[in-house]
Structure 1
Amino acid sequence: MSRQTDLQEIQRLTEDAAIDARKLLIQADNLQPGTLQKMLEALCGSFEDTALQLRRLCEQQSPGTGGYKRGPALRPLEVVGSVERIGIDWLHIRINTLLPHCRFQPPTWLTETLVELLDAYEACGGQLPHFKSALLVIEEYSDVDGRHIFDQDNKGWKAVSNAIKGRVIPDDDQYTLSVALLSTRSCQNVCHVTVLDMKDAPDFFSARAGDYSVTGLY
């Protein structure tokens, strides 16, 4: 697409998001909680789609290192999260936020964020492990009370499996990837993602429980 076409698409998405915001503003005081939640999720989706399209356009038009001299080309990744290898060749991803709600639509922005983190890790010389059969452990550290909206079955954990599919695991079917969703009370409000070989599951949970005298798994 041409630059004009790309920018017209950004303008369309922005205008659609603004229309959704105006509708919500007009109706907000008269909406039932469930309807309000659904409209808020739709509004978030509109802005997320706009941000993702704009990010792709920025990357396409980037002049590379030493570009426009307006500061760093990429935001510091530590603000978003980090990637490392821990334990017995396990992949650990720290996300500096909690899993988003996904009752109404998948959290595409989280998949995009994780893909960027993995790309940056490899660009810096890191090598991603590859497992034929893996366990995906997602553990949230949170001090938020009353997260009934974010029950385990409402959390956007599929965004994580979508990000690692084809890179760390061949597929995310039930025989290739097993999933464990854990929650721990903490003041950190972060999410730890660990991908490991299925046969290492006993070692992981033993290390997590402190059986190996490990002071901090993450």
Structure 2
Amino acid sequence: MMTNMDTLKKELKYVQEKLIRSIQAVSRVSMSESKSEQVIDKRLGDILDNVESACVTARCVIDRYRIMQPFNEGFKKEKIISKVAGEIEVTAEGWLHIKLNTLLPNCRFKTNSYVQDTLTRLLEECDKPLPMFEHAFLAIVEHCDYENREVYDQDNKSWKMIPNAIKGRMVKDDEQFRLDIGLFSKMSDTIACHIYVIPSTQLSDFMYYLSNNLL
């Protein structure tokens, strides 16, 4: 009969295979003699695909076998997603605020599974009940400067995983008459992506806070 340890070893072997594929993807670039920018670009994309897949797979497998601490009144649930990845809060105004310690990826890359998985986990681990809005405004505010920014043009940034993550949790649907979206940038020497979900009726308040650096 297979024990939990046997099952864990079997699943860790799957994680190991994912990590090996990641190393192989890196090796294909470092050992490549190709001069083609298109070939190198594709192989760099393969590295991201494999590394993100390995990370998400490891998260899912390891979470199932970690020891969960018993609940008591003085015990605060341990966060699986640490502040290394991001933070989440429901503000005093009743808005949702997520801080990701990274910038939005380029939309030409087919992979954004790491960001999608991080968002989903943060939402599931929020200490307070998530607000549900009939009509919401999603604001995505990147903090960066000319030196540390990664994707220059707003239309090249991948953000579609964000409304997908909040759909059904904070707004019934992400169709155009229920969810408005804004993409903003703020100068900062520390990179971060701040995500706000607010009721559309409080949009003017949000824009006031944003323009006066009060967020």
Please tell me whether the aligned partners of residues 96 and 131 of structure 2 are also in contact (alpha carbons under 8 angstroms): yes
Of 22, 25, 29, 1:24 maps to: 29
Of 127, 134, 137, 1:135 maps to: 137
Question: Which residue number corresponds to residue 213 of structure 1?
Answer: none
Percent identical among aligned pairs is 30
64 and 199 in structure 1: CA distance in 2 versus 1, 3 angstrom threshold? same
Give the SS at the match of 2:58: helix
Q: Is residue 42 of structure 2 the alignment partner of residue 38 of structure 1?
A: yes
1:188 counterpart letter in structure 2: T
What whole-Å deviation, never above 9, does each CA across 1:93-124 have from its counterpart, x for those lacking one? 11122112231214111111122222222xx3
* CA distance in structure 1 between the aligned counterparts of 2:208 and 2:24, rounded to whole angstroms: 52
Unaligned runs of 5+ in 1: 67-72, 211-215
TM-score, normalisation: structure 1? 0.81
Provide the aligned length of Structure 1 versus Structure 2.
204
Tell me how far 1:75 sits from its aligned partner. 6.1
Question: Which residue number corresponds to residue 57 of structure 1?
Answer: 61
1:161 counterpart letter in structure 2: P
151 and 42 in structure 1: CA distance in 2 versus 1, 3 angstrom threshold? farther
Please tell me whether the aligned partners of residues 103 and 142 of structure 2 are also in contact (alpha carbons under 8 angstroms): yes
What whole-Å deviation, never above 9, does each CA across 1:137-188 have from its counterpart, x for those lacking one? 0011101349574422222211222221221122222222211111121112
Tell me how far 1:15 sits from its aligned partner. 2.8
Tell me how far 1:5 sits from its aligned partner. 4.4
Q: Is residue 98 of structure 2 the alignment partner of residue 101 of structure 1?
A: no
Unaligned runs of 5+ in 2: 71-77
Please tell me whether the aligned partners of residues 85 and 92 of structure 1 are also in contact (alpha carbons under 8 angstroms): yes
Give the SS at the match of 1:208: helix
TM-score, normalisation: structure 2? 0.82
Question: Which residue number corresponds to residue 193 of structure 1?
Answer: 195
* CA distance in structure 1 between the aligned counterparts of 2:30 and 2:40, rounded to whole angstroms: 11
What is the root-mean-square deviation in Å for CA atoms of aligned residues?
2.7
* CA distance in structure 2 between the aligned counterparts of 1:146 and 1:188, rounded to whole angstroms: 8
* CA distance in structure 2 between the aligned counterparts of 1:133 and 1:37, rounded to whole angstroms: 40
User: Higher helix share goes to which structure?
Assistant: 1
